[in-house]
Amino acid sequence: MIAVAAVAGAAIVVLQGNMGVLSARISDKIVLTVQAEDSGILIVEEESGEAASSQLQTEESIFVIGSGETEASEKASDGEENEGDNETSVTGFVQYDEILQLYLTGLNSEWDASEFDGNGLCYLAGYLSSADDLGYFLMDLDGDGTEELLVGQVSEEEDAYLGMFYDFYTIKEEERMQVTTSAERGRFYLCMDGTIAYEGSSGVFCSSNAFYTFTGTELELTEAVLYDAWEDEENPYFYSTTDEWEDHSIPISQEEASAILSSHEYLEIPYTALSEVAEELGLAEMVSPLKQQAIEEVEAASAEAEAIAYRLDNDPLSQSELNQLSYEMYQIWDDALNVLWGYLKESLSEEEMTALTTEEIAWITEKESAIASVGAEFEGGTMQPYVENTTGADLTKERVYVLLEKLS
């Protein structure tokens, strides 16, 4: 059972079985001391001096989750600050800031997966486009008063891996430790109850779902469900509390396996994008005057196209008017692409431009094929121009933003 309370902009997540007094820094001026009781959450003090006491009715106890959007929390309930705290630090720990700075350096320098891996970071970051796509989250997972650092992908789109984390760091005796890191076939997630979940695969016939408790320095297995059709094709599910890959001593049914997996609910981690703190970390991405000009022109095109899209969706228009407006919207994005192509010629080397031209020719072929395919469904009808224009506009808009990323 979980309850969530919002106090002065801070998220307080209430979970079963966590009781005590915790302090959370809500702003530069206010620190709330929060008392967890069986009957709910009692705010007993504000550091600003203004007494406050309000009862938030829940039946569970309290677990305070910090994030990059709040200031660094008090690291111990007695009010003493952790030695790693720094007023100028983004995370509250210079050790964590160093990791974020390294990730930012890689993203700004367009490192590939091997370069991230070579620098001790999760190689999955090499598949991301910019600092908008990677973020951080702070949470005290072992209850020792020091927050752990999770680094992962920021996304507003539906994503099968949304909620997973790439890297997991902690600090012990002022030294930063990398607890674990994800891979494509070995992904880690944070569960609602603070458990760490692992989804691993060694092929179609063998996979593991394991669940761990963070002990402060390492992950300790609590339970695992192994699917191993190589071991037993007819009854491939096994349960273990000792080994997530090799223990076949306790066979279980598919229904039992599903029940165990569904009992662990993943948390959609509210990451703060590195782009939001890049300037504070001293690594704000430098944008050339040429790219800035291109960005402004693309934004202007987008605003013009969105105005037409609004009319298409909301105005009572004839089919002839729909066809004409959709053509104009397609033309806006086509013009923006041509302008951007000119900027790319100025920015890229001859070798880079040759490679991009080959890529662009392939894209044009795919676009025209997609337009022809959707138009064929309405061939000869009055809607054919409309569906062809809107498809062309959507595909060209998408391509504009792909090309914009290539501009330095």
Q: How far apart are CA 139 and CA 123, in angstroms?
A: 23
The reported pLDDT for the residue numbered 74 is 39
Q: How far apart are CA 194 and CA 212, in angstroms?
A: 9
Q: How far apart are CA 74 and CA 364, in angstroms?
A: 56
Any long-range contacts for 344-352 (C-beta under 8 Å, 24+ apart)?
Answer: 344/403, 344/406, 344/407, 346/290, 347/288, 347/290, 347/291, 347/407, 347/408, 348/406, 348/408
Structure-block tokens of residue 337: 């692409």
CA-based angle 186:220:145, to the nearest 5? 105
Q: How far apart are CA 395 and CA 156, in angstroms?
A: 20
The reported pLDDT for the residue numbered 51 is 40
The reported pLDDT for the residue numbered 283 is 72
Q: Which residue ranges of the chain lie beneath pLDDT 50?
A: 1-86
The reported pLDDT for the residue numbered 53 is 38
Asked whether the CA dihedral 26, 30, 33, 38 is positive or negative, the reply is: negative
Reported as a single tens digit per residue, the pLDDT across 171-215 is 999 999 999 999 999 999 999 989 999 999 999 999 999 999 999
Q: How far apart are CA 226 and CA 249, in angstroms?
A: 11
Closest to 154 measured CA to CA, from 8, 275, 51: 275
User: Do 141 and 195 touch, CB atoms closer than 8 A?
Assistant: no
- Phi and psi torsions of 373, nearest 5°: -65, -45
Q: How far apart are CA 56 and CA 38, in angstroms?
A: 11
Reported as a single tens digit per residue, the pLDDT across 35-94 is 434 333 343 343 444 443 334 333 333 344 444 333 333 333 333 444 444 457 899 999
User: Do 333 and 390 touch, CB atoms closer than 8 A?
Assistant: no
Measure the CA dihedral 11/17/23/26, to 10°.
0
Q: How many helices (H) and strands (E) does the chain have?
A: 7, 18
The reported pLDDT for the residue numbered 321 is 95
